[in-house]
Chains A and B, each alone.
Chain A
Amino acid sequence: EIVLTQSPGTLSLSPGERATLSCRASQSVSATSLAWYHQKPGQAPRLLMYGASSRATGIPDRFSGSGSGTDFTLTISRLEPEDFAVYYCQKYGSSPITFGQGTRLEIK
């Protein structure tokens, strides 16, 4: 089973700043099989990125993803108030699918 480790655990930033979230895999992951979600309190997760760098429907272009092999990054270019949430990376493409433990993005 591939283990995903996200860092940092908590990221404190202000609106307008740039956020960089990391996801490291215990084994190489195909870039076509890495997704990012965010989850706001009391809500279900929402798909942001799939295939490491493709934005899901309705996701603004301030979100971007990159990476390959074992290291992947989600970047939010200019934080909006609605971006403060918990972010999860996910590996799919083979069973079992796995999630990282999450990065909490909080308002500084």
Chain B
Amino acid sequence: EVQLLESGGGLAQSGGSLRLSCVASGFTLSSFAMSWVRQAPGKGLEWVSGISFSGASTYYADSVKGRFTISRDNSNNTVYLQMNGLRAEDTALYYCARPRSAAGPYYEYAMDVWGQGTTVTVSS
């Protein structure tokens, strides 16, 4: 079964750091670009970051640029999101998501596989 499992969320203080992980199973992670998408409590979906299948290209929303870093370890089927300089407005459920087709940049296809998310809470 194709699955994504996020972890690493928790409570952090404003200005603090967290590292999220997304472990893939049931498919070859190294063939797919990947994304992180977040959802603040009671709000809609916001794309946060994307990474190419090799990790050579990374993309960020303006709201997190310079503070968050996406990376991947294809040998361990894992995508990461390092979050530094956390702010209250980063409080959200963070989803890892896979595009419906392999190859191409993260934005090439709609996302057909989503994890269940990991919750990040930033206290001020």
Contact = CB atoms under 8 A, between A and B. Distances in A.
Size bin of chain B's contact surface: 20 to 34
B46 A45 contact: no
Given A45-B114, A88-B44, A95 B50 contact: yes
B95 A93 contact: no
Interface stretch (B13-21, B74-82, B84-92, B100-108): B100-108
Question: Main SS of the interface on chain A?
Answer: loop
B115 interface: yes
29 contacts: A35-B110, A37-B45, A39-B45, A43-B116, A44-B114, A45-B45, A45-B95, A45-B111, A46-B114, A47-B100, A47-B110, A47-B112, A50-B109, A50-B112, A56-B100, A88-B44, A88-B45, A90-B110, A92-B110, A93-B107, A94-B107, A96-B61, A97-B47, A97-B50, A97-B107, A98-B47, A99-B47, A100-B44, A102-B44
Interface of B: 35, 44-47, 50, 59, 61, 95, 100, 105-112, 114-117
A68 B9 CA distance: 39
A39 B46 CA distance: 14
Nearest to B35: A97
A18 to B, nearest CB: 24
Interface of B is mostly: loop
A95 B59 contact: yes
